[in-house]
Chains A and B, each alone.
Chain A
Amino acid sequence: MSSSSISTATPLLAVNSVSKRFGDKEVLRSLSLDIFSGEFLTLLGESGSGKTTLLRLIAGFEQPTAGEIWMSGLRLDSLPPYRRRVNTVFQHYALFPHLNVSENVSYGLRANGAPKNEIFSRVADALKMVRMEEFALAKPMRLSGGQQQRVALARALINRPELLLLDEPLSALDANLRKEMQTELKSLQREVGITFLFVTHDQEEAMALSDRIALLRDGALEQVATPREIYAHPATAYCAQFIGQTNLLRGSISSGIAESGSLTFSCTGPSGPAVFSLRPESILLAANASAIVDPVRFRGTIRQQIYSGASELLDVQSSSGLHLRVRVPACGALSGEHEFVFSASDAICVKESL
C-alpha cells in the first residue's frame, strides 16, 4: 500500500465547539478541532484533561452537552455508535472472553451480516496484518498483553473504519514492548492509510508517533501542531513544560529588549510582561561553544549533575538567583562556576496561559 497522504482540503472529522458536562463538572469546554484524512493525530494531556471524554464522544459512548461533531459532511453525534464509521481500540482491549481470536476479529463483520467466505478471507488478512495468524483459535485469556492488543487492533481495522480511535492502548504494556508496539503502530497506520486518533498522557509517545499533537488542558485545547512545531514554538508556558523539558524565565520586554533577572537580550515580542521558554539543550558551556548568533552569557555554579549516557543534565544556579537546567553532551564530571551561553533566538516568548 502506498504511504499515507494527509488531505488538508476538508477535514475528515470536525469537532465544533463541543462541551461535555458530568453533573456540575465541565469536562470539555467548547472545544473545536479538525482532524484530516490520513493523519495520525494524538490527543495529549494529563488525566482529567478531557482527552478520553472527547474520544468517547467521537466513538458515540457519550453525547455532547453542547456543540456538534461532523464526519465526511454528515452529522456524527446524532448517530448511535453502531452506525458510525468509527472503530475503537480500548485501553484494556475489551476482547470478548467467550469467543476465540477469529471470532473476536470477525465480530463486526458478523454483526453486520457479511457473507461467510468473505469473513474467512478478511479475518485471515487481518490476522496476517498484525502477525497473529497462528493464534486464530486461541482464547483471549491465553494471550499476553501485547498479543491481546494486536487482536484488538485487527478487530477494529477489519471493518475498514474511516477513523480509528485508540484509547491509551499501550499504557498497559511494559516499557520495551511499548516501544516495539509504537513502531508497529506507526508503520501500520502508514501502510493502511486510515486516520488514527490516539489518546495518551505520555508526551514522548505522542512526539514519536504523531503527525500532529493536540494538547488538552482542563477541557480546552492548549495547542495543536506538529511535534517539531510544538516543541520549537510552544504556545504557552504549559505547552513548553508539558512537552520536553524547559526553563521558564519570567521578565518583561520593552522596545525590543527583553529582561529577565540579570539576563538581557533582543526580542521581537510586544512590550510588557513576558514569559520565555528556554530549552535546556539550547544552553551551552561557553568553553565548548563556537560562534553563536545573538549570544547571551551568564555565569553560574553547578549544583547537581545527572549523567544519562549521551548527555548530562546540569542544575545551575547563577549569582543573581537564576536557576536553570542545562543539558550538555557527556563531558565528564564538572564542578564549580562556569560560563554559559545561549542564543537569544532560543528564548521563545510564550503566553502565560490561554
Chain B
Amino acid sequence: MYSKTYKFLVSLPPILWVALFLLVPYGLMLVHSLWAVQNGVIVHRWNLQNYLELLKNSVYLEVLFRTMRIAAGVTLLSLLLGYPLAYYLSFHAGPRKELLYQLVIVPLWVSYLVRGYAWKTILGSDGVLNGFLQYLHITHAPVGFLLYSPFAVVLMLTHIYTPFVFLPIYASLEHIPRPLVEASHDLGGTPRATFFRVILPLSMPGLLAGATFAFVLSLGDFLAPLLVGGPSGTMIANIVQSLFGAAYDWPLGAAISVCILCLTIGLLFLAEILEKRWSFE
C-alpha cells in the first residue's frame, strides 16, 4: 500500500534519533571503558584493566550491592504501599474513585528536587521529625540515622516511586472483570480467598511492571543519595558521576556504566519473560 521509498523516509527520523541519542552514546561508552587514563589524560590504549579493577577493588562491589539492596528495599516498600492503595481504589472506593486517583497523581507534579529538599527538612537533626519526637519525649536527642543514611535514601525513593508502582497495578486491577469476583464469591470463595486465588494472580502483570519500574529506576538514581544519602548512602550512580567529574577517570566510569547497563537489560529481559508467563489474556 505504501511505497518502499515512503516507508524508508518515514522510518528515517526515529532511526536517526535512536542512533544518535542511544546507539552512539552507548557505543562511545563501551569504547571508553576499554581505554585508560595516564597522567590525567585519557589514552586510547585498548585494555580490560577497568573491568579487572572493578572485580579486584571491593569498594565498587560493596557500593553496587548496597545500591541493589536500596533498590530492592524501595521496590518492596513501594509495593507494600502501592498495592493496597490500588486495591482499595479499584474495589472499595466507589464514587470517590476518580477523585482519589487524582490525589495519588498530584504529588508527581512537584519537582523531584523540591521533594528531596523537603525530606532534608523533615529528617534533619533540627528537622520536623526530630523536633516532633523530642516534643513527645520519645527521644531526647536528635536521631542520627534519619538523615544522610541509606534509610533516608530508601524513604525518599519510596516516596517518589510509590505513585509509579500504583499506576500499573491500578490499571491491571481495573482490568479484572467484576463478574470474576462475583463468580468466586458465588462458588464459596471468601473475600480473602478471592483475593489470593483470583485478584492477585490476575494483577501480576501490573505488579511486575510496577516493581520493574521502581527497581530499575532506583538502581540508577543519583539525586536521592546526593541529597539525603550522605557517605553511608552513596549509590553506584554517584561513583560514576564523580569518576566523570572530580575523580576524572572516564574509562572506569564507563566500565561501571556498561556493567549497570548489562544488569538493567538483564532485569528487563527477566521481567519480560515473567510477564509473558503470567499474563492470561
The interface of chain A, by Cβ under 8 A from chain B, is 59-61, 80-83, 86-88, 90, 92, 94-98, 107-108, 111-112, 139, 141, 155-156, 159
Contact = CB atoms under 8 A, between A and B. Distances in A.
Contacts of A98: 201-202, 280
Interface string B170-182: 0000000101101
A111 B202 contact: no
Contacts of A156: 186-187
Contacts of B183: 88, 90, 94-96
B189 interface: yes
A80 B185 contact: yes
Contacts of A82: 185-190
Contact of B185 (A81, A155, A159): A81
Per DSSP, chain B at the interface is: helix
Given A94-B177, A98-B280, A87 B202 contact: no
Contacts of B201: 98
A63 to B, nearest CB: 14
Interface residues of B, number: 19
A60 B190 CA distance: 13
Contact of A111 (B177, B182, B189): B189
Contact of B197 (A87, A111, A112): A111
Contacts of B180: 94, 96
A111 B280 contact: no
Given A96-B198, A98-B202, A98-B280, A155 B179 contact: no
A284 to B, nearest CB: 50
Given A94-B177, A111-B189, 6 more contacts: A88-B183, A94-B180, A97-B281, A111-B187, A111-B190, A141-B280
Contact of A108 (B177, B187, B190): B187
A107 B185 CA distance: 11
A142 to B, nearest CB: 12
Contact of B202 (A61, A97, A108, A159): A97
B156 to A, nearest CB: 36
B94 to A, nearest CB: 13
A94 B182 contact: yes
B184 interface: yes
Interface string B248-281: 0000000000000000000000000000000011
